[in-house]
Structure 1
Amino acid sequence: MKKFLKIVGVILGIFVVYCLIAMLVVDSKCHNEQSIVINASKEKVWQNVNSMKTFNTWNPWMKMDPNLTVTYKGTAGEVGDGYTWKGNDDVGEGEQEITAIVTNEKVATKMHFIKPMDDTATSDLLLATEGSATKVTWTIDYEIETLFKPMKPMMNYQMNKSFSEGLEKLKELSEK
């Protein structure tokens, strides 16, 4: 039993040291980025990214709550086009709005997360011609509080997993 407690103590000690070091060393700024090449023209892909309604047809977080409440505002495909969402603990509550558009090239948005915690982020969808295909890059930038810095590797993993899932769905929709 003493040996078991010693092992648990060492593991707990390592975890505490990791957390302290991460809180002191890890950058609070976060940037995630994923890209995919879609075998479709920029114009065709653009039809699936140029408004919040079309974005939500492949947005991976939309399927996390079958009872998610979404309310749209503004004119689709224009600056100010946005939506609010309210859902279960997996998706929380917040709003997202288009802040800039460059037709067939870029949609920039800002997000305000209300629940489970108040926070903000910016996100871009960038389209570039790659031969007869289109490369789509999805980015997000946000900051995390010091107490959450030890969780940054797990947050990056989960964000990249969600981005990949969403981009695969976008590819599927755009290549039809």
Structure 2
Amino acid sequence: MKQRLLIVLVVLLCLTAFFAGIVAVQPEEFHITRSAVMKATPDKVGERIDHFKAWADWSPWAKLDPNSKEEFEGPAQGPGAIMKWSGNDEVGEGKMTILETRPGEYIKIQLDFIRPMVASNLVEFQLEPQGEETKVTWSMSGKNNFVGKAFHLIVDCDKMIGGDFEKGLNSMKALVEAPPALTEEPQSKAKPDADAVLEKPAEVNKPSEQSAPVDSVTTPPAP
């Protein structure tokens, strides 16, 4: 019995050592990037990124937890702007801080995770004008500690996170390419609707001022 337990223990130690060896040789850093071309100016696209409150309109994680909480600190946009969030297991908890902004060109963000795992990564947005369009490149990079290496070994992070980036870019594309909402014409220039015409009789239906009133017409007596 003891011999069997010893064999099992040795096998487990060998498997653990083997797995640890594989983890150890994984890359020290990771880099995930996705791009999309949008029919909008770099400034118009940049406004959706530089304002954290605007992320709710296109972020791929905004709909994962309708009850998530967001807090905003610092300036509304640009370096120093901060957004903190806390939600369910899919959203987790963390903080984003804008480090650098070059309007219409580049935005750098420090991304700090608290849940489901502690990590600090760098997020960048590159805006490249292409005629009347803009190429938007969204990337995230960071260091891989042992836990991070093991996680990347088990989970295809490029596919998982890259897929979220693609969803976010598609949402942003639809948002910035949408035509502006049509505004109503001023009341003085608006055409009268059918109900208004029906409620107000036409002038031709009114009796003429020069016509004799109905009760002024006489009828000759019967013979």
Greater relative contact order structure (CA < 8 Å, 6+ sep)? 1
**Equivalent position of 1:69 in the other structure:** 69
Deviations 1:75-101 (A, max 9, x none): 112211111001111111111010100
Q: 1:80 to 1:21 in 2, by over 3 A?
A: same
When normalised by structure 1's length, the TM-score is 0.84
Alpha-carbon RMSD across the aligned residues, in angstroms, is 1.9
1:50-74 residue CA offsets vs partner (Å, 9 max, x unmatched): 2111233211122211110001111
Show structure 1 runs of 5+ residues with no match.
1-14
Q: Which amino acid aligns with 1:165?
A: K
Alignment of 1:73-88 (within 5 A): 73-88=73-88
Q: Percent same amino acid at aligned positions? A: 28
| Aligned equivalents of 1:151, 1:110: Cα separation in 2 | 21
Q: Provide the residue aligned with 1:4 in structure 2.
A: none
TM-score normalised by the chain length of structure 2: 0.67
State the partner residue of 1:162.
164
Q: Which 4+ residue blocks in structure 1 deviate beyond 6 angstroms?
A: 15-18
Instruction: Report the counterpart of residue 34 of structure 2 in structure 1.
Output: 34
CA separation of 1:136 and 1:23: change in aligned 2, threshold 3 A: same
Q: Which runs of 5+ in 2 are unaligned?
A: 1-14, 179-223
The residue number in structure 1 matching 2:138 is: 138
Distance 1:19 1:64, change over 3 A: farther
Q: 1:149 to 1:39 in 2, by over 3 A?
A: same
Structure number with higher strand proportion: 1
Instruction: Tell me the residue number matched to 1:126.
Output: 126
